[in-house]
Structures are given as C-alpha cells and as structure tokens.
Structure 1
Amino acid sequence: MSELLLSCVSAGYRARPVLRDFTCGPIPAGGLTALVGPNAAGKSTLLRAIAGLVPARGSIRFDGRELIGLAPRERTRLLAFMPQALPQDTGLTVIEALLGAWRALPDGAVLYDEAALLQRVGQILDRLGLVELGMAPLQSLSGGQRQMVALAQAIIRDPPLLLLDEPTSALDLRRQFEVMALLRDLAREGRSVVVVLHDLALAARWADHLLVMHQGQAHSDGGAEAVLTPVMLRQVYGVEARIEPASSGERLLLIDGISSSGR
C-alpha cells in the first residue's frame, strides 16, 4: 500500500486559481481520509486535480507513480473518481452505467467474459442495496439513488485509490450511515479512500484521517481528536464551538456562535 503525496500543487480553472503551492503531510495508505473545510476552501478542486480532471502543476504521487502528466489509461488503473452528481440527460440503465464504467478500463473488455462481468455487476448492486434498480433508467432515479449508482461505478473497477466528492450529500440518514460504513470497509480491505465531506460529525465518526483545508491551503491534518479543536473551528469556519464527549465515546460538536476573529 502506498501513501498519497502532494507537494507544491497548484490547480484551478483558467482565470481562477484555487490551489497555490498546496503541500500536506502524506495521506495514509489503506485508510479513509476526509477532506473538510468551508465552502470554496479547495476541497473538490484538490480531488479533481488528483483525478487529473483539472490542470495541475507540482507533484502528486501514488503507488510510486507521478499522477500529474500520467496517461489517462494508466490513471484509470490506479484510481476512480466519483463526482457529486451523474449527468441527467442519459438513457442508460443502472446496469448499463456500471458496464460502461468497467469497460472504460484499458483492459476491461478482456478481464471478464460477459457472464462473469454481469455477475460482478450484480455483486456490486447487491453490496450497495441497488439490485431492484438494475434495469431502471438513470434519469428516473432520485438524487440519492443516482449518488449510489455513481458510487457503484467508482468501486466496480476495484481501484487502489478511491476519490469521492461529497458522496453523502443527497442521502438520508440511514443511507449516509450505510455509505460511510461501506467506505470504511473498502479502506480496511486495503484501498486508500479520500472523500470530501461537509459534515464534520460524519468525518469525525468515520474517518481515520482528516485534512482540513482553508483558502486553498492545508490548515491541519491528523486524527479527529487532534484536528477538531475550538481553535481550528474559529480560524477556519469562523465559529465559536466546543467539542464535548458523548456517552457513546464519540465527540459532539456544539456551535455557540459566530467568531469575531475567525476567517
């Protein structure tokens, strides 16, 4: 298993640079890492830069490979990216969407025969609780269902690095729990999972490692107990807050008000 190493990464969109010489400590291998921070902190841009979806300079290394400038066919072997939403103007069914995601692999067409590939699709749908939606057109699904299909597309390739942009944003509480439990299981199986989250409670509950982003830079990183502090919440989120222990052993985030000195 290899760490994800980012050094002096600059990335953005034409006239709007977002990340400037972004550097952080190694993102641990084989764990669940949450990218957290306020809106416009650069979380999604960083994820897309790792995935090769926005122009980037600097160095992004995974599994001993430099990802910046890596050929797309080689990158698809190393990682999968889940966007915030799937395109809506498509007539594909759920099964067709998963088959397409698999066949996007450079050698995807030869690794499985048709029967074995359909069996794999069925296994993924079963693991995510989507079997009954297999023949449904994507455009007929709710936002939460589409989000689950996007997750299925990402994991069907079984990549060593999973990049997920707000995978719980359209999900109800039960589905949020199921998805975060699944992501932690995937990490425990040896993958590196990096997920953008807005919900600090979810991040604290499920992530092994948190990377706090602020104004295109890494503010702090580490375990939840080290990272989620009143000082960080004041500096990054602009709020006065307390972190209190719960009876379950977890930590509760309590917002007391707006900070006059933060952000």
Structure 2
Amino acid sequence: MIDVRSVSVSAGPARLLADVSLRVGPGELVAVVGPNGAGKSSLLSVLAGDVAPSSGSVTLGGRPLRSLRPARLARMRAVLPQRVTVAFPFTAAEVVAMGLYGSRLTAVEEEKLLEGAMAVTDVAHLAARAYPTLSGGEQARVSLARVLVQRAPVLLLDEPTAALDIRHQEQVMCVARDRSAAGDTVVVVLHDLNLAAAYAGRVVVMRSGAVVADGSPAEVFAPDVLSEVYGCAIDVHHGGSGLTVSPRRAH
C-alpha cells in the first residue's frame, strides 16, 4: 500500500505539488494524467522516495518512506523514470541485469528472470547491442525490462509509452496490467488518455500540482472536466469497444 497524505513539494518559489493525498493498494493499476507541468512526475518522484515532500507524509507498506534504507527500498519498489542515461557502452543485457543488484537468487534463477523480462518487453534480440546505439523506443523497453527483473511489488512508471510505436505501447500496458492482476501495485504516468481508459482501473487527473479527479475512467473522463484541465474542447465517446477521448475539432 502506498499512502500519501497532504503532500506538498516546493522548489524555490514554485509549488510543484499542493496538498496531494492518494492511496494505492495491491492489485491496482492507477494512471496519472494531466497536462504538462501538472505535477505528475513530481508525484512519482515523491512516491519513489527520490524527492522529499516539503510537508505531508508518504508511507510504503505501512512504513515511512524516508525511513527505508536504499537496499530495502529497491526491493519494495521499482522505478522507470522518463529518461534513462547510460554513459558507458553497456550492452542491453547488462543494463537489464542491473535490476538484479542485491538479488538473493541463484545464477540459474537470475538467468531465467532476465530471459523472461527481455522476452516480454521484446528486447531479447537486442541483448548484445550497446545501449547507447539503440533507438529511443528500444532503450525505453530495455529500461522497462531492468525494472521488471527487480521483482518489486510496487512499480512506478513515468511515461513508459512515450517513445514507443503503437504495438509496443499496447505491449507495455499489457505488462503493467498483468503485474497488477498478479497483485502488484502499479502507478503509471501517461499522456495518452485512451491508453489510460483502456488499461487503468483507476485514473488520477492532475492540474497545477493538485489532484482534481480520482476514480474509474468512466467517472473522471467527463468532457467538462477534461476540457477545463487541458484548456481545450475534448469529447468523450462511449461505444462497444470502450471509452475513447479525442479533441473537438472545428468543422
């Protein structure tokens, strides 16, 4: 369980988060959406323990987040940031294996875990390639595989689909959904509202560092709410294939 209570974060005169409260439990896939600068990545950084709140509290598994030592924290939560920079020419397989740091598995178990993570993210064929030579989308999938091999019960994913083609966007969201179905806690920052509607059981809408809506996609994806949050006219359609969101275009 992640429990965020009245958290605010300031950076100089800027307030990045304003009195945010949020609880996410095992088996939940929660999408965090909102316009640029809404505070989505700041919230994820607080959940990861990378940024200390200016006020409020965050607990992970009932324990104060700041009380957890790095090794313990790494076993409890895995984080995929927006950008992953690797300065040295590690191979894709070596980057994925970094997620096993501190593992208590046998060599055979580690190898099986690596193979499974690279298969599910479609990067097995890139194993021997130097990470810096990969495309942005390939790097993103390798980084996701690294996160998966941590086997942490909490996954925090910041825009994991941003650099991906349609097939791999769907693949990544299927992985997130499968992990939540297996009992993990998954929080994913998305810009694609239709992906959020299709895969997330719950959506948190943010604007100006605050949560403005929190509920199922059908509850929070209302045209008036989204139009106000994004500052443009947005239509929401309910059909046989589910809920779809699109900007309203002048005819």
TM range (shorter): over 0.9
Q: Give 2:154's aligned residue.
A: 161
Structure 2 regions of 5+ residues with no counterpart? none
CA distance in 2, matches of 1:118, 1:28: 30
Q: Give 1:33's aligned residue.
A: 30
Structure 1 regions of 5+ residues with no counterpart? 259-263
Q: Give 1:95's aligned residue.
A: 93
Q: Give 1:261's aligned residue.
A: none
Q: Give 1:117's aligned residue.
A: 110
1:88 deviation in Å? 4.2
Q: Secondary structure at the match of 1:239?
A: coil
Q: Give 2:202's aligned residue.
A: 209
Conserved 8 A contact 2:15-2:209:
no
Q: Give the RMSD, CA atoms, in angstroms.
A: 1.7
Aligned-partner residue type, residue 193 of structure 2: L
TM-score normalised by the chain length of structure 1: 0.89
CA distance in 2, matches of 1:122, 1:255: 41
TM-score normalised by the chain length of structure 2: 0.93
CA distance in 1, matches of 2:127, 2:44: 29
1:231 deviation in Å? 1.8
Q: Secondary structure at the match of 1:55?
A: coil
1:142 deviation in Å? 0.6
Q: Give the 3 Å change call, closer, same or farther, for CA 68–17 of structure 1 in structure 2.
A: farther
The alignment-based identity, stated in percent, is 33
1:12 deviation in Å? 4.3
CA distance in 2, matches of 1:211, 1:68: 24
Which of 59, 78, 81 matches 2:79? 81
1:84 deviation in Å? 1.2
Query: How many pairs does the alignment contain?
Result: 249
Aligned-partner residue type, residue 181 of structure 1: C
Q: Give the 3 Å change call, closer, same or farther, for CA 100–241 of structure 1 in structure 2.
A: closer
Q: Give the 3 Å change call, closer, same or farther, for CA 163–213 of structure 1 in structure 2.
A: same
CA distance in 2, matches of 1:201, 1:78: 29
Which range moved further: 239-248 or 130-139? 239-248
Equivalent runs, 1:149-188 vs 2, <5 Å = 149-188=142-181
Which of 226, 229, 247 matches 1:255? 247
Q: Give 1:9's aligned residue.
A: 7
1:71 deviation in Å? 2.2
CA distance in 1, matches of 2:215, 2:81: 25
Q: Secondary structure at the match of 2:66?
A: coil
CA distance in 2, matches of 1:253, 1:116: 43
Q: Give the 3 Å change call, closer, same or farther, for CA 11–62 of structure 1 in structure 2.
A: same
CA distance in 1, matches of 2:225, 2:179: 29
1:227 deviation in Å? 0.3
CA distance in 1, matches of 2:124, 2:10: 38
Which range moved further: 42-51 or 126-135? 126-135
Kindly provide the CA deviation profile for residues 199-232 of structure 1, in whole angstroms up to 9, marking residues without a partner as x: 1111001101100011101101000000000121
Aligned-partner residue type, residue 40 of structure 1: G
1:14 deviation in Å? 4.8
Kindly provide the CA deviation profile for residues 30-58 of structure 1, in whole angstroms up to 9, marking residues without a partner as x: 12100000100000000011111122232
Aligned-partner residue type, residue 172 of structure 1: D
Q: Give the 3 Å change call, closer, same or farther, for CA 102–12 of structure 1 in structure 2.
A: farther
Aligned-partner residue type, residue 35 of structure 2: P
CA distance in 1, matches of 2:122, 2:52: 36
Aligned-partner residue type, residue 117 of structure 2: I
Conserved 8 A contact 2:96-2:149:
yes
